[in-house]
């Protein structure tokens, strides 16, 4: 059985229990650290959601103002050789497979840009003959002609491959470890390149070493004990912050959603627990952007906007295409918040939050 390196292993925290008074102490910590996070993620902290929310909101306002940064995902390809048990694009799922041609990718990008977005996240499954590095590089170029900020959520790569994408105009990489628990990871990733736990773990560092300015990391909540995964996520984030102190980091908290095949998460996380996780991370990493996608429902997202979360997607499609022309029928997972961009921005303004479309300028890109 693979074991985690000591710098990442959260096991020492799992048998530690926290009392209500220790949670109160954590809530007033002047320099929150890993002990603070462990206390705020503990069962005892579930009774302190209101004060946690208040502190999270104050810190979010201090570091990000009353703003919510917006982005939109574009799925380039649903071809995948991977066998991830929880994914609608897994190779053993009967789904219509598509990859955007460069012409259709350009149309999709134009349609998204016309909506007002300045940040686009390009996604694929595992590396395939339909969506390999050359394909991705060309899609990045097409996006970089239209958007100030182009990021990717694709297969792990080597440092030099990331560098070639950075030179084509890509500024950031999102790569979720899914779970930091090696045994669960092995079970969930039944076959394919993604089965290599450590290759995936090292990829965000490879991306930053390769010239990417931002790395987004996270774990797919529901696969393993959420406290284990969130404590390991914190350790991973601190490691990247210390090693690449000039780079930007962002964290996301995706929860498993319905998809074709009906995967049932072994460790379901309810909204109350998800809120506790978001507040705990905002308190312990006050200046790190925290993102929430349309996997979550409108009511929960409205509640979290500005209350810890400062970055959100909207008007998302998880099918390949669908913004400019015909998309495929089946997506990677179901979307829970299907509001339009206008509806979402109107909601933000009623909460006196300002939607931000651009917080990065294309002139800062690495150029070849
Ligand atoms: S999660 Fe990614 S690698 Fe795994 S099956 Fe889905 S698309 Fe493929």
Domain of residue 53, CATH code: 3.20.20.70
Q: Which atom of ligand 1 is nearest to the CA of 192?
A: 3
**8 A C-beta contact, residue 248 and residue 214:** yes
304 Cα–ligand 1 center, Å: 28
Run of H or E including 311: strand 311-313
d(CA 246, CA 97): 39
Run of H or E including 356: strand 354-356
36 Cα–ligand 1 center, Å: 34
223 Cα–ligand 1 center, Å: 15
Confirm whether 198 is domain-assigned: yes
d(CA 188, CA 223): 8
* 331 ligand 1 Cβ < 6 A: no
* 156 ligand 1 Cβ < 6 A: no
What residue owns the CA closest to ligand 1's atom 5? Answer: 90
Q: H-type helices in 260-335, by residue range? A: 271-284, 298-304
Length of the chain measured in residues: 368
* 125 ligand 1 Cβ < 6 A: yes
Burial profile 13-49: b = 16 or more Cβ within 10 angstroms, e = fewer:
beeeebeeebbeebbebeebeebbbbbbbbebbeebe
- Span 314-366, pLDDT tens digits: 999 888 988 876 666 677 777 889 999 999 999 999 999 999 997 777 777 76
pLDDT of residue 36: 98
What residues contact 221, with CB distance under 8 A and at least 6 apart? 229, 253, 254, 255, 256, 267, 269, 274, 277
Confirm whether 13 is domain-assigned: no
Run of H or E including 234: helix 226-243
Q: Which atom of ligand 1 is nearest to the CA of 88?
A: 6
* 194 ligand 1 Cβ < 6 A: yes
The encoded tokens of residue 331 equal 């997506």
**8 A C-beta contact, residue 168 and residue 144:** yes
* 89 ligand 1 Cβ < 6 A: yes
Confirm whether 26 is domain-assigned: no
pLDDT of residue 261: 63
Number of structural domains in the chain = 1
pLDDT of residue 358: 79
d(CA 232, CA 88): 26
84, 123, 197: residue to mutate for ligand 1 pocket, most atoms within 8 A of CB = 84
258 Cα–ligand 1 center, Å: 15
Which residues on adjacent β-strands are paired with residue 251?
A: 217, 290
What residues contact 29, with CB distance under 8 A and at least 6 apart? 36
Confirm whether 15 is domain-assigned: no
**8 A C-beta contact, residue 109 and residue 147:** yes
308 Cα–ligand 1 center, Å: 29
**8 A C-beta contact, residue 333 and residue 318:** yes
Domain span holding position 191 = 33-352
Confirm whether 20 is domain-assigned: no
SS3 35: helix
Q: Which atom of ligand 1 is nearest to the CA of 87?
A: 6
pTM of the model: 0.95
Confirm whether 224 is domain-assigned: yes
* 80 ligand 1 Cβ < 6 A: yes
82, 98, 263: residue to mutate for ligand 1 pocket, most atoms within 8 A of CB = 82
What residue owns the CA closest to ligand 1's atom 2? Answer: 125
Confirm whether 16 is domain-assigned: no
d(CA 48, CA 58): 16
pLDDT of residue 259: 59
Low-confidence ranges of the chain (pLDDT < 50): none
Strands (E), 26-167: 67-75, 119-123, 149-153
* 76 ligand 1 Cβ < 6 A: no
The values of phi and psi at residue 264, to 5°, are: -105, 120
Q: Which atom of ligand 1 is nearest to the CA of 80?
A: 8
38 Cα–ligand 1 center, Å: 30
291 φ/ψ sector (left φ>0, alpha ψ -120 to 50, else beta): beta
Confirm whether 10 is domain-assigned: no
The encoded tokens of residue 347 equal 């909601």
């Amino acid at each position: 059985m693979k074991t985690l390196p000591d710098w990442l292993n959260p096991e020492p925290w799992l048998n530690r229990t926290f009392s209500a008074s220790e949670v109160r102490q954590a809530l007033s910590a002047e320099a929150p650290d890993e002990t603070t996070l462990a206390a705020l993620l503990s069962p005892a902290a579930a009774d302190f959601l209101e004060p946690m929310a208040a502190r999270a909101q104050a810190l979010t306002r201090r570091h990000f103002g009353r703003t919510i940064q917006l982005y939109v995902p574009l799925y380039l390809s649903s071809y995948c050789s991977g066998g991830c048990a929880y994914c609608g694009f897994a190779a053993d799922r009967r789904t219509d497979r598509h990859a955007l041609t460069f012409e259709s990718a350009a149309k999709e990008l134009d349609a998204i840009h016309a909506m007002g977005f300045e940040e686009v996240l390009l996604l694929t499954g595992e590396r395939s003959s339909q969506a390999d590095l050359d394909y991705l590089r060309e899609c990045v170029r097409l996006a970089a002609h239209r958007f100030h900020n182009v990021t990717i959520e694709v297969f792990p790569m080597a440092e030099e491959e990331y560098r070639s994408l950075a030179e084509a105009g890509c500024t950031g990489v999102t790569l979720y470890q899914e779970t930091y628990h090696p045994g669960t990871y092995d079970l969930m990733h039944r076959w394919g390149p993604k089965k290599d736990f450590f290759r995936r773990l090292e990829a965000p560092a490879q991306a930053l070493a390769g010239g990417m300015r931002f790395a987004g990391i996270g774990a797919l909540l529901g696969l393993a004990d959420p406290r284990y995964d969130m404590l390991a996520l914190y350790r991973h984030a601190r490691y990247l912050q210390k090693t690449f102190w000039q780079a930007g980091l962002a964290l996301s908290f995706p929860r498993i959603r319905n998809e074709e095949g009906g995967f049932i998460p072994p460790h379901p996380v309810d909204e109350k627990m998800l809120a506790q996780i978001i507040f705990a991370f905002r308190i312990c990493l006050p200046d790190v952007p925290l993102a929430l996608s349309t996997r979550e429902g409108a009511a929960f997202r409205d509640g979290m906007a500005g209350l810890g979360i400062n970055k959100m997607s909207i008007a998302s499609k998880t099918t390949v295409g669908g913004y400019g022309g015909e998309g495929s029928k089946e997506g990677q997972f179901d979307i829970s918040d299907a509001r339009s961009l206008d509806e979402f921005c109107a909601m933000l303004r009623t909460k006196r939050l300002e939607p931000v479309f651009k917080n990065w300028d294309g002139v800062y890109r690495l150029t070849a």
